[in-house]
Amino acid sequence: MINLYEKVIFVLSISFLLFLKSSNSLANNELALKRFYYQIKIPQTNQSCSQEASKLAQRFSDVTGLNVIENGCRGEVEFADTESAYKMYSVGLTYLSIKEIFPYSALVGMDVMGIPHSAVGMFSTYSECLGALQKQSEFYEEKTGYQIIASTCLEGTYETYKKSYVLRIDGVAKNNLSEPNSKLYALPLKFQGQLNSNLRVQLESFLVSKGASIVWENENVIFYYKKYPLLISQEVLGEFTDADECESQIDEARKIFLNLGNNDAVVGCLPGKYFNSKKVYLEVVRESSGGSNYFIDIHQYSSQAECLNDKPRLIDEAASRGHKPLGVLFRKEKEGKFLLHLFRSLY
């Protein structure tokens, strides 16, 4: 029989072992935690820089569930833009975590590849960028499903002859558990001609039909939210000196891309961008996985009648060789010559 003394010793021994195990576990957890930092410049508000730093720390802690052990104002920056004086706060914090948290930054700015970036901003003035912050913040939370930590306007990092400002929004998922529902992408408009209002409406409808949520645009680019970026091709099909001649080719151009499986391709005639330009461009926007999926055979003729009369023969000949003819476009060349472009599938 185990006496009372032995029972007490046994219970105390077990308790001590459990205490050691718990202490070791806590120590290991503390050792696993590391210090990480987050810092950003934000627009001046009616509160002090230190107060804004405290608010940033509270938001960060609430959203991530992490322990912020320090925060503070890192400095204040004054600058002038369009004859107005502005101030920005540089605020930062230190937090404990097993791994670093990387907020998702939505940037209304681009690099030379047309990817959202801090290189060149889409706003020519600081005040214009500030005016867009609230609306873009609403879009961000709605489209990403993330909660915002900070939003700001920063000068573009690429030096140009004039200033530009990038709108930036940082946010993370609650407790940092998931990827954003959508991300912000840019579609640079690389048209050879000047995009008119009719074609712009068609282009916007085309993007929306592909699941894009357009949130900002100007004459050079469209920014949209989507889970993954759209693969869009913009191509010049022909250059004309007569607008009516170009317009007469639109239906045939649509047929060409319909035969390629692009039944919603946007096709139109756009006037030249530059002063006194007499050129008109037949252009198409379509969804494409990259690279051309057609080939063009070019034939020259001395008259329009000869050009059009030879069209059936060329189509039959291409088909007999095992090629898949897609359609034919023609245009008047210099010195009265005519060019016929026979489009055929590569596959």
- What is the mean predicted confidence (pLDDT) over 314-327? 89
Q: How would residue 1 be classed by pLDDT, with cut points 50, 70 and 90?
A: very low
Q: How would residue 21 be classed by pLDDT, with cut points 50, 70 and 90?
A: low
User: Hey, what are 255's tokens?
Assistant: 């047929």
Q: Which of 283, 205, 286, 285 minimizes the C-alpha distance to 247?
A: 283
DSSP H or E segment with residue 106: strand 104-110
Lowest mean pLDDT among 137-141, 228-232, 288-292, 327-331: 288-292
Mean pLDDT is highest, among 15-29, 83-97, 151-165, 283-297, for 83-97
Q: Is the pLDDT of residue 22 over 60?
A: no
State the Cα angle at 47 between 117 and 71, rounded to 5°: 65
pLDDT tens for residues 278-311?
A: 889 999 999 987 667 888 999 999 888 898 899 8
Q: Is the pLDDT of residue 26 over 50?
A: no
Dist CA 260 CA 294 (whole Å): 8
Dist CA 262 CA 251 (whole Å): 14
Task: Give pLDDT, residue 335.
Answer: 74
Amino acid making up residue 235? E
Q: Which of 180, 168, 234 minimizes the C-alpha distance to 203?
A: 234
Parallel/antiparallel/unpaired status of strands 165-172 and 104-110:
antiparallel
For the chain, give the mean pLDDT: 89
Q: How would residue 328 be classed by pLDDT, with cut points 50, 70 and 90?
A: very high
Sequence-distant (6+) residues with CB within 8 A of 283 are: 191, 192, 193, 234, 235, 236, 237, 267, 268, 269, 270
Task: Give pLDDT, residue 42.
Answer: 98
Q: Is the pLDDT of residue 27 over 50?
A: no
User: Hey, what are 165's tokens?
Assistant: 């400002």
Task: Give pLDDT, residue 6.
Answer: 58
Write down the pTM of the prediction.
0.86
Task: Give pLDDT, residue 3.
Answer: 60
Q: What are the CA-CA distances from residue 50 to residues 93, 241, 249, 330 (Å)?
A: 11, 63, 64, 68
Q: Is the pLDDT of residue 176 over 50?
A: yes
